[in-house]
Amino acid sequence: MSLTASKIVTLDRLTAALDLPRREGSTIALANGLFDVLHVGHLRYLEGASNEADVLVVAINSDASARALKGSPRPYVPQDQRAELLAGFECVDHVTLFEDLNVEPLLRTLRPDVHCKGTDYTEDTVPEAEMARALGIRTAIVGDPKHHATQALIKRIRLSHDL
């Protein structure tokens, strides 16, 4: 199994994998998203998230939850490929898929030290902010300003195709 493939884990395996780092005093960050058509904004978001803790877990929306959130034909890239691409980032320690529309269940299960969201949010507009506060999880807004949206990239590709 390649290093990239070994980073992609089920929730049960992830929970077990985080036990040792926690016992050794390492901090855990959770970042999440669709990561459908990767661009530099995604990398900057994940690099920012990795700076918030010792271990970075990235939770990716499953194909079903991506469709529920964004509608058809999303996602453009299947979940297994999205997971593999993100696992290839040096700053990412673990990748897992989730089926829910938000990461509240993951916050309850994983109890990370910090929940990282991109700059399209504020600490007050993060959908899971109340749950994170109740669990004692710090919320961090990371990455560069939202100048790199997937939808904008797709629109530019479509426009260039129509020329």
Residue pair 32/104 in contact by the 8 Å Cβ criterion: no
Q: What is Dmax (Cα atoms) for the chain?
A: 58
What is the model's pLDDT at position 4?
Answer: 85
What is the model's pLDDT at position 6?
Answer: 94
Both tokens of 84, joined, read 């593999």
- The CA-based angle 123-9-7, given to 5 degrees, is 85
What is the model's pLDDT at position 1?
Answer: 65
Please indicate whether residue 146 or residue 8 has the higher confidence score (pLDDT).
8
Write down the residue that tokens 């994983």 correspond to.
Answer: 110
- Domain ranges, ordered by start, for the chain: 3-162
What is the model's pLDDT at position 82?
Answer: 97
pLDDT tens sequence across 82-99: 999 999 999 999 999 999
What is the model's pLDDT at position 2?
Answer: 78
Residue pair 59/32 in contact by the 8 Å Cβ criterion: yes
Residue pair 123/52 in contact by the 8 Å Cβ criterion: no
Both tokens of 149, joined, read 């949206």
Residues 6+ apart with CB under 8 A from 1: none
Residue 66: Cβ-neighbour burial (10 angstroms; 0-12, 13-18, 19+): buried
What is the model's pLDDT at position 160?
Answer: 74
What is the model's pLDDT at position 150?
Answer: 66
Residues 6+ apart with CB under 8 A from 30: 57, 58, 59, 103, 106, 107, 110, 112, 114, 115, 116
Phi then psi for residue 90, to 5 deg, are -60, -35
CATH superfamily name and code, 3-162: HUPs (3.40.50.620)
- The partner residues of 138 in beta bridges, in order of sequence, read 114
- The partner residues of 24 in beta bridges, in order of sequence, read none
pLDDT tens sequence across 34-81: 999 898 999 999 999 999 999 999 999 999 999 999 999 999 999 999
pLDDT tens sequence across 111-163: 999 999 999 899 889 999 999 999 999 999 999 886 666 666 667 666 776 65
